[in-house]
Amino acid sequence: MFTLTDKVVFLTGCGSQAEGWGNGKCIAVLFARQGAVVYGVDRNEAAAAETRRIIEAEGGRCIAATGDVTRAEEVNALVADCMARFGRIDVLVNNVGLSMPGDPATMDEALWDAQIDVNLKSAFLCCKAILPIMEQQGRGAVVSIASTAGIRNTGKPQAAYAAAKAGLIQFSKVTAVDYARRGIRMNCVLPGLMDTPLVRKLAEQFASENTGADLDAFTRRRHNQVPMGRMGEGWDVAHAALFLASDEAKYITATEILVDGGLCAAVRN
């Protein structure tokens, strides 16, 4: 079940920005294990190359490309390269994302713009380039990695990130309806509190910048917020994305899968 044999997957944010397994790296490896040809894009050349090495060591197929998917000309060039190599794109996974703190009164305008670009504009640009290809093929699946921050108050000042992820969810819904009769499905995965390399890196940065901040206490608090008593991991996100990308989800579009250990249902910060 949930096989992706010979399907070409265009995946953004395919590498982990720190040691370990982030969402994109897990998605790339899992999809390759299910038979997909992964065209992975990341701004970090070394991170993308590491993902490719893991996939190839397991006998899978992966292209590691470097690029900034917040820039239209780079997206178009990457998509053109993928098409030149494989002649089709069956699955698009919009995975890039980054959360930086700030409220409207204190956030620098440039930081706001950057958050909207990486979390929302990147998905728009990739869809703009790839949806016409999928339409010509007569089928395709788009999976966007959003966040529970897009549907709930996280209790943290992350106005730009939350707004961008809410926008990504609605962008996916509206576009999914427009493209439903063209054989294209669009859905979102909404991770909750996750234990990924990027989250740990941001937590360590916060602890170093705030004297007396306790990194272990921060981690325990995140675990305790979740009804299951623990944060999720990149593999949890990857398996949800795999289902939505697979033909087993052929009647599912314009919706979201929560991967949050019950966090949103508990309605607490």
Catalytic positions: 161
φ/ψ bin of 87: left (φ > 0), alpha (ψ from -120 to 50), beta (otherwise): left
pTM: 0.93
Per-residue DSSP letters for 16-32?
-SSSS--HHHHHHHHHH
Query: Which of the four pLDDT bands, split at 50, 70 and 90, describes residue 153?
Result: confident
H or E element: which one contains 47? helix 45-57
Cα 221 from chain centroid?
Answer: 24
Calculate helix-pair angle for 215-225, 197-209, nearest 10 degrees: 130
Tell me what pLDDT residue 144 has: 98
Please tell me the distance from the alpha carbon of residue 225 to that of residue 183, in angstroms, as a whole number: 40
Domains of the chain: 8-195+233-259 (3.40.50.720)
Tell me what pLDDT residue 22 has: 93
Encoded amino acid at 104, one letter? P
Q: pLDDT (tens digit, 9 = 90+) per residue, 10-50?
A: 999 999 876 789 999 999 999 999 999 999 999 999 999 99
